[in-house]
Amino acid sequence: MTITRVALACSLLVSCRAAPQSLRLGTTHTVQQSGALAVLESLWTGPPRFTTVVAPSGQILRAAANGDLDVLITHAPPLEQRLLVGPGHALLRCPLAASRFAVVGPATDVAEVARAATAVDAFRRIARAGGPFVSRGDSSGTHVKELALWRAAGVTPAPGWYLESGADQATTLHLADERGAYALADLPTYATLRGLTSRILFAADSALTNPYTLYVVRRPELHPAARDFATWATHAGREGVLALRLPDGTAAFVRQPGDCEVTAKP
């Protein structure tokens, strides 16, 4: 009996001293493939450590709305408002950083995208030339931005020249490269890929800004480290991300102005 009680006491003591539950971070393929996630993982010392789920923004936002994540970093403002902020699933919204999108494609550039005046003009040129164009087609932030540009251009992409990969950014860009097709690319991710013959054809438009926002998810039991992580990520963590550079030496990400704001009551 004494041995049993001692064993039970030891078991309880171990439980009390166990590491705190991991913080569940949801983020996107471009955060991972650009190198930004690796920076955050290397700099955060906790406690606790965080576990990461990587998926398109749409999937991450739905997982957060279901209470499956503690914090998330996404880059699809319309979906963030509709799936997370509007329904009251976000406790804090924190502007983090922004990269740029670019239209990439073959050096031959039959659509003369490099001569476009705006991003919308670039998309109209692709449609007039009959593409080809490879879309992610996966409700990612990149896909959401692409669809907005087609709408602004007054174009409905046609199956004959428009292909949906249903895959992440890196896979999509490799597919576009193989097919001599155009694509919308997140510049920091594009810069990490090797062996591509596709070129950056157009990026000089503020409409191609790619903003990333960190959210603390509103849950019945808020993770005790969620707010601390948000504060850290928008200060020390962000400084590490801002240090990333493109091949030409320019910043891969720039600071997003503004402070964390409460979007719902705890």
Per-residue pLDDT of the chain (266 residues; tens, 9 = 90+): 333 333 333 333 333 334 558 999 999 999 999 999 999 999 999 889 999 999 999 999 999 999 999 999 999 999 999 999 999 999 999 999 999 999 999 999 999 999 999 999 999 999 999 999 999 999 999 999 999 999 999 999 999 999 999 999 999 999 999 999 999 999 999 999 999 999 999 999 999 999 999 999 998 889 999 999 999 999 999 999 999 999 999 999 999 999 999 997 66
> What pTM was computed for the model?
0.89
Q: What pLDDT is stored for residue 76 in this prediction?
A: 97
**pLDDT at position 26:** 98
Residue 160: the pLDDT is 92
DSSP the chain: -HHHHHHHHHHHHHHHHSPPPPEEEEE-HHHHHTTHHHHHHHH---SS-EEEEE--HHHHHHHHHTT--SEEEE--HHHIIIIIITTT-EEEEEEEEEEEEEEEE-TT-TT-GGG-SSHHHHHHHHHHHT--EEE--SS-HHHHHHHHHHHHHT----TTTEEE--S-HHHHHHHHHHTT-BEEEEHHHHHH--S---EEEE---GGGEEEEEEEEEP-SS--TTHHHHHHHIIIIIHHHHHT-B-TTSSBS-EEPPS--EE-S--
What pLDDT, on the 0 to 100 scale, is given for residue 266? 62
pLDDT value of position 47 = 87
Cα–Cα nearest to 54, from 172, 142, 140, 134? 140
pLDDT at 7: 34
CA distance 21 to 199: 45
Report the pLDDT value the prediction gives residue 15, as an integer from 0 to 100: 33
Listed in sequence order, the residues at least 6 apart from 159 whose beta carbon sits closer than 8 Å to its beta carbon are none
Q: Which domains, ranges and CATH numbers included, belong to the chain?
A: 17-99+209-262 (3.40.190.10), 100-208 (3.40.190.10)
